[in-house]
A = this chain, B = another copy of it.
């Protein structure tokens, strides 16, 4: 099956996914600088911060300051992340800064859920009911859902496709109960278990059962499969991807040894644009921002195109040389 979309939507998560993991303190003004730079690249959506417990994630203690600091650019959707009610209530104060549209958050692996949030699958499903009520009280719409560890888990192993279908059905049940509509589902390869083959298998099964559901892929590059998995997703018609500029999010102690970050935005943009799929992003400008990201974190980041260079520029040079 090959069903390439004509255009691809990229959700930039570098500022959130990247800075969250960095050990060294990163100045608030530099985080803002990156968000503002990203907004000049043509990216339509930027996730800026996560509202999480600063004791657990010290790098996100300045989430409010960053939120107030960036310059909103027309046409760009700014988003933030929360993991629980406390985080959401912090985020909800910034309706003027963020698109707060919410989602139902499930996790395919019970063992991972237990370790991360100390909940069973059932308890997490119940917790979602509470979150939906909270979103509604705050006047925040809910239009999608996400499934973490959808392709495998370091504590539970391989995840059967049936689990994913079951969790999407649970989302629809929740939606029906609360009179909301799930328009899209994000499948997250949280621990980098996916291969292009498993992307095709899982996405294929979901599309067969839910042909009208929009899908998003959240891919990590820990085992070097990120771009290949994105390509497999594109071939299955998936038109929305999370990504992080320069591959931000890699382990700061072994950034170049183990690119554990999200799939790299400029590498993904390069692939899409070279294959004729429009992203709306200016690759050259994005490469400049990837270099800025490296400057900000102060260590090499894993993305490749920022080193290899884009072909658009090279073609322009070749044309110029021919006409000279």
**What residues make up the interface of A, taking CB atoms closer than 8 Å to B?**
1-2, 152, 154-158, 192-193, 195-198, 221-225, 227-228, 230-232, 254-260, 264, 267, 270-271, 274-276, 300, 302-309, 311, 314-315, 318-319
Contacts and interface: CB of A to CB of B under 8 A. Distances in A.
Most buried by B among A193, A221, A306, A318: A318
A256 B307 CA distance: 9
Majority secondary structure of chain A interface residues (helix, strand, loop or mixed):
loop
Contacts of A230: 228
Contacts of A192: 308
Contacts of A156: 318
A274 B195 contact: yes
B264 A224 contact: yes
A274 B314 CA distance: 36
A307 B267 contact: no
24 contacts: A156-B318, A157-B314, A157-B315, A158-B315, A192-B308, A193-B311, A195-B275, A196-B271, A196-B275, A198-B274, A222-B304, A223-B304, A223-B309, A224-B227, A224-B264, A224-B308, A225-B304, A228-B271, A231-B231, A254-B307, A256-B256, A257-B306, A257-B307, A258-B307
